[in-house]
Amino acid sequence: MQFEPNIAAARRILDSAIKERIFPGAAFGIYFAGQEFLGAAGHLTYSPSSPAVTPATVYDLASVSKVVATTAMAMILYDRGRLALDSPLDAILPTFNPHFDADRSRVTPRNLLTHSSGLPAHEYLYRRCRNRQQALDACLTMPLDAAPDAAYAYSDIGFILLGLALETLAGEPLNTFCEREIFAPLAMSSTTFTPPVNQRPLIPPTENDTVFRNRIIQGEVHDENAALLGGAPGHAGLFSNAPDLLRFARCLLQGGNSLFMPETVARFTARANQPPTSSRALGWDTPSPPSSSGHYFSPHSAGHLGFTGTSLWLDIDRGMAVTLLTNRTWQEPGASSAHHTQDAIRRLRPRFHDALFEPVTR
Question: Residue 359 pLDDT > 80, yes or no?
Answer: no
Average pLDDT, the chain: 95
- Stretch 98-118: mean pLDDT, rounded? 96
**Other Cβ atoms within 10 Å of 343 Cβ, number:** 9
Cβ–Cβ < 8 Å for 186, 253: no
pTM for the model stands at 0.96
Three-state DSSP class for 335?
A: coil
Identify the pLDDT of residue 336: 55
d(CA 90, CA 176): 24
Lowest mean pLDDT among 165-169, 276-280, 319-323, 329-333: 329-333
Mean per-residue pLDDT, 222-229: 98
For position 3, what pLDDT does the model report? Answer: 60
Does position 338 have pLDDT exceeding 60, yes or no? no
Query: Within the chain, which residue ranges are assigned CATH 1.20.58?
Result: 85-172
Length in residues, the chain: 362
CATH 1.20.120 fits 85-172, yes or no: no
Which tens digits make up the pLDDT trace of 269-289? 999 999 999 999 999 999 999
The values of phi and psi at residue 229, to 5°, are: -85, 5
**Residue range 131-154: mean pLDDT, rounded:** 98
Q: Please tell me the distance from the alpha carbon of residue 307 to that of residue 107, in angstroms, as a whole number.
A: 26
Q: Quick one: pLDDT at residue 341?
A: 66
Q: Kindly tell me if the per-residue pLDDT of 362 is higher than 50.
A: no
Residue pair 228/132 in contact (Cβ under 8 Å)? The answer is yes
pLDDT at 4: 74
> In 3D, which of 205, 194, 211, 208 has the Cα closest to residue 126?
211
pLDDT of residue 1: 44
Q: Which helix (H) or strand (E) holds 316?
A: none
Report whether pLDDT(189) > 50. Answer: yes
Cβ(162)–Cβ(122) below 8 Å = no
Confidence of residue 2 (pLDDT cuts 50, 70, 90): low
Percent of residues, the chain, with pLDDT higher than 70: 96
- Tens of pLDDT along 18-30? 999 999 999 999 9
Per-residue pLDDT, averaged over 279-308, amounts to 96
Plot region of 151 (φ>0 → left; ψ -120 to 50 → alpha; else → beta): beta
Question: Which of these, 13, 39, 23, lies nearest to 355 by C-alpha position?
Answer: 13
Q: Please tell me the chain's helix, strand, coil percentages from 3-state DSSP, rounded to the nearest 5.
A: 35, 15, 50
Residues forming CATH 3.40.710.10 domain(s) in the chain: 7-71+176-357
Taking the C-alpha atoms of residue 224 and residue 92, their distance in angstroms, rounded to an integer, is 26
What is the CATH number assigned to the segment(s) 7-71+176-357? 3.40.710.10
Instruction: Tell whether the model's pLDDT for residue 120 goes beyond 80.
Output: yes
